[in-house]
Structure 1
Amino acid sequence: MVTQARQNHIQVVAHRGASEDAPEHTLAAYMKAIADGADALECDVRLTADGHLVCVHDRRVNRTSNGRGAVSALELADLTALDFGTWKGREDATESPDWGDPSLTSVLTLERLLELVADSGRRVELAIETKHPTRWAGQVEERLLQLLGRFGLAAPATAEDSSVRVMSFSARSLHRVAAAAPTIPTVYLMQFVSPRLRDGRLPAGARIAGPSIRIVRNHPAYIERLHRAGHRAHVWTVNEPADVELCAGLGVEAIITNRPRQVLSQLGRP
């Protein structure tokens, strides 16, 4: 039985916003996540050809827009002209869904997302995942820290004071962030646990483990090993009630989900 006190300490992170209900990585999805009560917002960032950080998961825009091409080869003006909303639900609908104001489903810059969080009226944290092709090695992290600096978020007094954390599957990316901004927490994302990390260790520069829910299902004892090593566990992407219960029972510190409202409800939080 998971105690209410333990459930209250689990941070609920909206994966690409409230992405089950609204198109991922759009203003609509993040506004919905904030309204639903999410503790934090997760986003992926990529660098455009003209140097803007935009919230797009895939290397190419084909899946989530009516355009084609790699984000890194397109300028912000090119992306702004695309529709990032009507793909959502079109497989099950006879006509394209109407998301209202087109600005809610146009490409979202990280700057605009930071403005949304700043204006939210409550503490909402950000979990920012860096994604970049080799051609932008180092530049994504550099631009990210510059932008966080403009919002006064690049140099928290301590990691506990930070309302932003940087996540990546790349240990090198996290090392760059840790070297330049040592008080910003970093999360090492994992699709599998390499043999050298099975004892709960993390690569240099990483402070928090980000295992997939598949890892947690197959190796639940790994969470205890992480905790023994002094690391927190932020698990992705947790949507099913049984998986939420598993994570809560294991004492993970954060659940990253497409369904923030449902997870909050399951944890007994209004």
Structure 2
Amino acid sequence: MAGFSRRTVLKATLATPCAAGLFTHKIAHAAPSLSARPLVFAHRGCSAQRPEHTLASYAKAIADGADFVEPDLVPTKDGVLVCRHESNIAATTDVANHPEFANRRRTLTIDGKQETGWFTTDFTLAELKTLRACERLPKLRAHNTRYNGHFDVPTFEEMIDFVAAEAAACGRSIGLIPEIKNSTHFHALGFNPEATFLQIIAAHTYTRSAPLEVQSFETTNLHTLNAAVKAINPQATVMLLMGGRTETPPDLLAKGEKTTFGDLMTPEGLKAVRRYADVIGPSLTDLIPRDAQGAWLAPTTLVDDAHAAGLLVHAYTCRPENAFLPQQLRNAEGDSARNVKGSLAEIRRYLDMGLDGFFTDDPAIGRKAVDRI
């Protein structure tokens, strides 16, 4: 990270060091998981405690016991993969405060939806490095705004090097679970994020041997990546992320096909997914739906159906604030309150369904839930 040493980033975690002792577990499930133990995936790092997709967020996640850290990947104008949840950087950087880039604000259609803002594909890496990260949800996570302006946007390669250094310092393996974002959109602009991604993981010793799971909401790229990634890292797995049941994967939509994620969640659909993926990544609400007030309804059979098809299930996203919890688990402290008790109860409910892993914005809570503390 330009301008920030590893020591500076680690100081910003305000967390205890990694310890190998965190990773001995006794897990009991009401329903069987296909994993030896459920995995804790740090969603955009520890995004409940630090601005997302910064080295500080990744460092905090590692210190809090995450098994895997997630970088979402989008390209810059000069084809460098950087860690952002979407190409539009309006909500997660200070780009709006840079008058030199004011004329780059525009509207694009991405996966059928219009977005207005500033996009990574209009910035070279050098230009992007002049920006600083900021908190996406400043009203809900006001405590994170104290870090606004402190950290830049890391490249995927910087993130790999950082995690590799942390793994060496902690004495344990730390997995990476990168998501290739908006593949069809970027290919239409002339980029090939999959080719760049494969070149990068092949070039780094760490990504050739560390736990690695590649994710996408699209099916076409996973057909190619499934074999290509495993040729580089034999222990790698591939996950199809699942959007809303009525939505069509963006690559299929672009081809005029009508297959929905709901179709892919049926027993027959899951058997088809198993031909090119090892894991599905559904929303938590596809496992236990909620009513209009946010209360839990009866659970679905998706976890059992996926297991029957030979697929693992890694669901998204557990968040600790009352605003995101099911109605039954919220307390009276307001939407922005970090409700540890409620979040633990939510995660344990999903683990009891046999969930193999889950994304969380707050890995410390996820670690406690898995460890049964």
Q: 1:128 aligns with which of 178, 181, 197?
A: 178
Aligned-residue offset at 1:4: 3.5
Tell me how far apart the structure 2 counterparts of residues 202 and 4 of structure 1 sit (CA, whole Å). 34
Larger mean Cα displacement after TM superposition, 93-102 or 49-58? 93-102
Counterpart residue type for residue 201 of structure 1: K
RMSD: 2.6
2:302 match: secondary structure: helix
Aligned-residue offset at 1:107: 0.4
Aligned-residue offset at 1:93: 9.0
Tell me how far apart the structure 1 counterparts of residues 140 and 310 of structure 2 sit (CA, whole Å). 45
1:207 aligns with 2:278: yes
Counterpart residue type for residue 123 of structure 2: L
Aligned residue number for residue 133 of structure 2: 84
Q: 1:252 aligns with which of 355, 367, 370?
A: 355
Counterpart residue type for residue 145 of structure 1: L
Q: How do residues 212-227 of structure 1 correspond to structure 2 at under 5 angstroms?
A: 212-218=283-289, 219-227=299-307
1:217 match: secondary structure: coil
Q: Kindly tell me: are residues 28 and 174 of structure 1, through their superposed partners in 2, closer, same or farther at Cα, counting changes over 3 Å?
A: same
Tell me how far apart the structure 1 counterparts of residues 212 and 363 of structure 2 sit (CA, whole Å). 18
Counterpart residue type for residue 76 of structure 1: L
Larger mean Cα displacement after TM superposition, 15-24 or 249-258? 249-258
Aligned-residue offset at 1:44: 0.6
TM-score normalised by L of structure 2:
0.64
Contact 1:40 1:127 in 2 (8 A): yes
Contact 2:83 2:153 in 1 (8 A): yes
Contact 1:132 1:140 in 2 (8 A): no
1:17 match: secondary structure: coil
Tell me how far apart the structure 2 counterparts of residues 119 and 18 of structure 1 sit (CA, whole Å). 18
Counterpart residue type for residue 70 of structure 1: F
Q: How do residues 109-120 of structure 1 correspond to structure 2 at under 5 angstroms?
A: 109-120=155-166
1:45 match: secondary structure: strand
Contact 1:153 1:164 in 2 (8 A): no
Q: Kindly tell me: are residues 90 and 222 of structure 1, through their superposed partners in 2, closer, same or farther at Cα, counting changes over 3 Å?
A: closer
Tell me how far apart the structure 1 counterparts of residues 284 and 350 of structure 2 sit (CA, whole Å). 8
TM-score normalised by L of structure 1:
0.86
Larger mean Cα displacement after TM superposition, 208-217 or 241-250? 241-250
Contact 2:214 2:237 in 1 (8 A): yes
* Runs of 4+ displaced beyond 4 Å: 92-96, 153-156
Count of matched residue positions in the alignment of Structure 1 and Structure 2: 260
Aligned residue number for residue 159 of structure 1: none
1:5 aligns with 2:27: yes
Aligned-residue offset at 1:101: 8.7
Tell me how far apart the structure 1 counterparts of residues 217 and 144 of structure 2 sit (CA, whole Å). 34
Q: How do residues 1-270 of structure 1 correspond to structure 2 at under 5 angstroms?
A: 4-6=26-28, 9-67=37-95, 69-85=118-134, 87=135, 90-91=138-139, 97-99=145-147, 102=150, 105-120=151-166, 121=168, 122-132=172-182, 134=184, 136-137=186-187, 139-152=192-205, 163-182=211-230, 183=234, 184-191=236-243, 192=245, 193-199=261-267, 200-203=270-273, 204-218=275-289, 219-239=299-319, 240-268=343-371
1:21 match: secondary structure: coil
Q: Kindly tell me: are residues 31 and 180 of structure 1, through their superposed partners in 2, closer, same or farther at Cα, counting changes over 3 Å?
A: same
Tell me how far apart the structure 1 counterparts of residues 141 and 212 of structure 2 sit (CA, whole Å). 37
Indicate the percent of aligned positions where both proteins have the same amino acid: 27
Aligned-residue offset at 1:202: 4.4
Tell me how far apart the structure 1 counterparts of residues 144 and 346 of structure 2 sit (CA, whole Å). 32
Tell me how far apart the structure 2 counterparts of residues 233 and 70 of structure 1 sit (CA, whole Å). 32
Larger radius of gyration: 2
Tell me how far apart the structure 1 counterparts of residues 161 and 345 of structure 2 sit (CA, whole Å). 35
1:209-254, Cα deviation, whole Å (9 max, x unpaired): 1111010113431100111111100011023334312221011111
Aligned residue number for residue 5 of structure 2: none
Aligned-residue offset at 1:117: 1.4
Tell me how far apart the structure 2 counterparts of residues 64 and 73 of structure 1 sit (CA, whole Å). 16
Tell me how far apart the structure 1 counterparts of residues 264 and 136 of structure 2 sit (CA, whole Å). 40
2:92 match: secondary structure: coil
Aligned-residue offset at 1:92: 6.7
Tell me how far apart the structure 2 counterparts of residues 231 and 53 of structure 1 sit (CA, whole Å). 29
Tell me how far apart the structure 2 counterparts of residues 106 and 40 of structure 1 sit (CA, whole Å). 22
* Stretches of structure 2 lacking an aligned partner (at least 5 in a row): 1-24, 30-35, 96-116, 246-260, 290-298, 320-342
Aligned residue number for residue 11 of structure 2: none
Larger mean Cα displacement after TM superposition, 248-257 or 202-211? 202-211
Aligned residue number for residue 113 of structure 2: none
2:285 match: secondary structure: helix
Q: Kindly tell me: are residues 206 and 36 of structure 1, through their superposed partners in 2, closer, same or farther at Cα, counting changes over 3 Å?
A: same
